[in-house]
Amino acid sequence: MLAKVASVGVLGIEGYSVEVEVDLSNGLPGFSIVGLPDLAVKESVDRVKSAIKNSGFEFPRKKITVNLAPCDIRKEGPSFDLPIALGILQATGQLESASLHEMICCGELSLDGTLRPISGILPRSVEVGKRLGRRFVVPRGNAFEAAIVQRVSVYAMKTLMETVRFLRGELEREKIRIDVQRMWRENGHEEFDFRDVKGQSHAKRALEIAAAGGHNVLLIGPPGGGKTMLAKRFSTILSPLTLEEAIESTKIHSVAGYLTSKRHFVAARPFRSPHHTISDAGLIGGTAHPKPGEVSLAHHGVLFLDELPEFKRNVLETLRQPLEDGHVTISRAETSLTYPARFILVCAMNPCPCGYLTDPRKECRCSSYQIEKYYSRISGPLIDRIDIHLEVPPLKYEEMTQGGEGEDSKAIRERVHRARGVQKRRYEGKAPEFCNAILGPKEMVRYCALSRSGKELLRVAIQELGLSMRAYDRILKVARTIADLEGEENIQSSHISEALGYRSLDRTFRRFP
């Protein structure tokens, strides 16, 4: 007898329909799964068999063949345990086929029949939402995440037996309802605030510019100057996530398995801070079966790399594509997946190996060779992709002990939001996340026109610093953002002058070629 159960798989961060076909035939008892299953799917054989028996049902002593269609896409993970078990029960007559009409199921089974939550439930729910009238049965631990998609009727189940009783009509279950708008508003608060930062007005100004234009930042200064403190508060001055951005970020975290029953929605802009020992696969994503890396988990948020020269050079070089394109493509023998990766890169480093090259109170003991070798760990092309190079000096005693609080994140965020509004109106018709930092050559010609005095100032600076064409573009983009913050339609020479002040590492690289 043949039975069919609808399910959903995940490819990248998108869901796709899977039909689970179960066939029972006479012959030697056996249980096989076809349709490009991975090892976790193949192991469903033992989980499903034990779950059916321990739930009080009869397991057939026949030849069982399970097909996961479409057969040209590799199936991963334990999410097909539940539909396979229901298909077997349907094929043996222990569950009527009519009860599975308009029903889509996903879930991992434990040996005693308990349903365990799975990763990637939100992309699956989005796919289910495309088919109107379908009901979605999920493990209880995934219910609230699946219910984020409002047009899907989600039903939470605890065990296989409970699921069968629900499908038979013997058990009533209300569909899960959540207020996404309210959850989005309530969970969007930030833990940190710029009011905690003493002094560093120059650094705060530069970070405000970076947030307003989506520019990458490198903080350079001796230990204890506040680089990490500033970086951790950077996401608090970015414009709040829109609901669409929040759902997209949640999909990525869902696929990566980072959501929990207590945290099932990403409402605030992500802030990712990987350790400098991270591998290229951990940063970009990958392994044998590609998963989102840190650059994708930071999508619509901030990726903070502390102690930048301590990262392996080959790891840092993998940042080039996502910084330029806003996405990362991972290719393996079996598949090629593209994950979104539109983030703001914030880096921090010391000015020398000992850290005290620019500290007026402590003597640096590093030789020129050591300093040159230290800076050589970061390639020129990567530095060119960072728009703002900011020197963060150590705090003076008067700044440390000053009374009162500094300007809070809310006030800065309001100015950033106004500048983003200017860009949104200017670039109407572009992608929602389009900003000054990702202007292309054609847009720069149109929107970054310079006055005669501005051109002359930039010409002298390029000759003196030996800037690359990419660095030239970065200066223009930062100047465009400064003009937007000041409400100026055209870029003035003062905006160019301030933007040039944020290229300190270009002078360092000229000193250490």
Q: Rounded to the nearest 10 degrees, how much is the dihedral formed by the CA atoms of 392, 395, 396, 399? A: 110
Tokens of 381: 């092309």
Kindly report which listed range (219-233, 255-269, 365-379) carries the lowest average pLDDT score.
255-269
Mean pLDDT of the region 298-303:
95
Report pLDDT for 513: 43
Tokens of 352: 């020398």
242 pLDDT more than 80: yes
Report pLDDT for 186: 64
Portions of the chain given CATH number 3.30.230.10? 2-178
Q: Which residue has the tokens 């090629």?
A: 336
| Number of other residues whose CB lies within 10 A of the CB of residue 178 | 17
Beta strands, E only, 259-391: 271-272, 302-305, 327-331, 336-340, 344-349, 388-391
Report pLDDT for 343: 95
Dist CA 480 CA 476 (whole Å): 6
- Contact between 93 and 99 (Cβ < 8 Å): no
- Contact between 465 and 180 (Cβ < 8 Å): no
Q: Which CATH superfamily is domain 186-431 in?
A: P-loop containing nucleotide triphosphate hydrolases (3.40.50.300)
Report pLDDT for 312: 93
Over the chain, what is the mean pLDDT?
88
441 pLDDT more than 60: yes
Tokens of 176: 């899960």
281 pLDDT more than 70: yes
pLDDT per position as a tens digit, 127-185: 999 876 678 999 999 998 999 888 899 999 999 999 999 999 888 888 888 877 777 66
β-bridge partners, 4: 21
pLDDT per position as a tens digit, 48-76: 999 999 999 999 999 999 999 999 888 98
Most confident of 71-75, 260-264, 309-313: 309-313
Would you place residue 510 in the very low, low, confident or very high pLDDT band (cuts 50, 70, 90)?
Answer: very low
Mean pLDDT of the region 485-493:
89
Q: At what angle do helices 493-500 and 469-485 cross, to 10 degrees?
A: 120
Report pLDDT for 22: 95
- Contact between 204 and 230 (Cβ < 8 Å): yes
Portions of the chain given CATH number 3.40.50.300? 186-431
In terms of C-beta density within 10 A (0-12 exposed, 13-18 middle, 19 or more buried), how is residue 127 classed?
buried
In a 3-state reduction of DSSP, which class is residue 28? coil
Pairing of strands 271-272, 30-34: unpaired
Report pLDDT for 198: 79
In a 3-state reduction of DSSP, which class is residue 177? coil
The pTM assigned to this predicted structure is 0.88
Dist CA 83 CA 104 (whole Å): 8
- Contact between 227 and 389 (Cβ < 8 Å): no
Q: Which fold has domain 2-178?
A: Ribosomal Protein S5; domain 2 (3.30.230)
